């Protein structure tokens, strides 16, 4: 289901189904010259869509994207979505969960694409080998870039398609400049290591480039952002995940 279709379903809440008004005239639909009792030819069997496995990794935003993506493809049994995202984790802190190490292990599991959504919890000190690297210092950025690259390469080196979904624009007093800074790192390291970067920042901004809690389609607006100015409502996560899904469909033809 494309983003547009998912949006229409979410707004409408139901889909009207037209029923035939009368009985079908079998005789009128019998090919001319067909012998009585002659069996109709079976229509060619439609090709089955290929099975496709998408793994979602990340933090709390990643968990939301997983939920939104699973909802979007719920009627497509050939698409399997697996959640590896974990709340209260990030790339900067490895004491709670070491994402570079986890990526090495997870990349050996069956999947066709890895969708990465990180950054919400990463505005903090990196501690490594007994040393502390404070946020935005030159050494911090070097270590952070190395970790981002490591995660991407864990999958891309195994031939898995990698998609990095950017942080969305946030409310002005909610780390907006910091998240824009992280997005630039994600874009550069993703593209340098064989991944596709998907920009969600501008998509969720208004026409002036500012944060907006609502999203409008075909003249109808809905609140899609959570009250914290960072996360999303359930519908918002479908919109966020839909950006990635449309890109995956276009690239991978499923």
Supply the pLDDT for residue 234.
97
Mean pLDDT of 38-57: 72
Q: Is 56 exposed, middle or buried (0-12, 13-18, 19+ CB in 10 A)?
A: buried
CB 136 within 8 A of CB 184: no
Where residue 16 falls among pLDDT bands split at 50, 70, 90?
very low
Supply the pLDDT for residue 34.
44
Supply the pLDDT for residue 218.
83
Where residue 7 falls among pLDDT bands split at 50, 70, 90?
low
Whether the pLDDT of residue 59 is over 90: the answer is yes
Q: What is the pLDDT of residues 192-221, one digit of tens each?
A: 999 999 999 999 999 999 999 999 888 899
Whether the pLDDT of residue 97 is over 60: the answer is yes
Q: What is the pLDDT of residues 159-181, one digit of tens each?
A: 999 999 999 999 999 999 999 99
Q: Is 51 exposed, middle or buried (0-12, 13-18, 19+ CB in 10 A)?
A: exposed
Residue 174 is encoded by which pair of tokens?
């909610």
Whether the pLDDT of residue 146 is over 70: the answer is yes
Question: b/e for 97-117, b at 16 or more Cβ within 10 A?
Answer: eebbebbbebbeeebbbbbbb
Residue partners of 1: CB distance under 8 A and separation at least 6: 9, 72, 73, 75, 76, 245
Q: What is the pLDDT of residues 65-77, one digit of tens each?
A: 999 999 999 999 9
Mean pLDDT of 232-251: 97
Residue 220 is encoded by which pair of tokens?
């109808």
Whether the pLDDT of residue 14 is over 50: the answer is no
Supply the pLDDT for residue 253.
85
* Residue 125 to residue 120: CA distance in whole angstroms: 14
Cα angle at 57 between 52 and 60, to 5 degrees?
A: 130
Where residue 37 falls among pLDDT bands split at 50, 70, 90?
very low
Whether the pLDDT of residue 135 is over 50: the answer is yes
Share of the chain above pLDDT 70, in %: 81
Residue partners of 244: CB distance under 8 A and separation at least 6: 65, 69, 115, 163, 165, 198
Supply the pLDDT for residue 50.
78
Whether the pLDDT of residue 46 is over 70: the answer is no
Mean pLDDT of 235-249: 97
């Amino acid at each position: 289901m494309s983003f547009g279709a998912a949006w229409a379903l979410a707004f409408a809440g139901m889909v009207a189904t037209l029923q035939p008004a009368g009985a079908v005239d079998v005789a009128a639909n019998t090919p001319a010259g067909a012998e009585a009792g002659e069996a109709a030819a079976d229509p060619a069997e439609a090709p089955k869509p290929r099975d496709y496995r998408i793994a979602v990794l990340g933090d709390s935003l990643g968990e939301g994207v997983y939920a939104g993506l699973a909802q979007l493809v719920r009627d497509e049994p050939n698409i399997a979505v697996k959640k590896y995202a974990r709340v209260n984790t990030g790339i900067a802190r490895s004491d709670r969960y070491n994402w570079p190490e986890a990526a090495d292990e997870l990349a050996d599991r069956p999947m066709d694409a890895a969708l990465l959504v990180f950054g919400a919890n990463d505005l903090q000190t990196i501690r490594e080998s007994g040393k502390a690297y404070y946020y935005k210092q030159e050494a911090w950025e070097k270590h952070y870039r190395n970790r981002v690259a490591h995660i991407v390469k864990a999958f891309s080196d195994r031939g898995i398609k990698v998609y990095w979904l950017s942080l969305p624009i946030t409310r002005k007093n909610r780390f907006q400049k910091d998240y824009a800074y992280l997005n630039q790192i994600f874009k550069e390291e993703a593209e340098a290591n064989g991944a596709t970067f998907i920009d969600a920042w501008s998509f969720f901004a208004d026409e002036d480039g500012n944060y907006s809690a609502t999203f409008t389609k075909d003249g109808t607006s809905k609140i899609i952002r959570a009250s914290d100015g960072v996360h999303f409502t359930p519908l918002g996560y479908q919109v966020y995940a839909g950006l990635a899904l449309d890109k995956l469909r276009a690239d991978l033809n499923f």
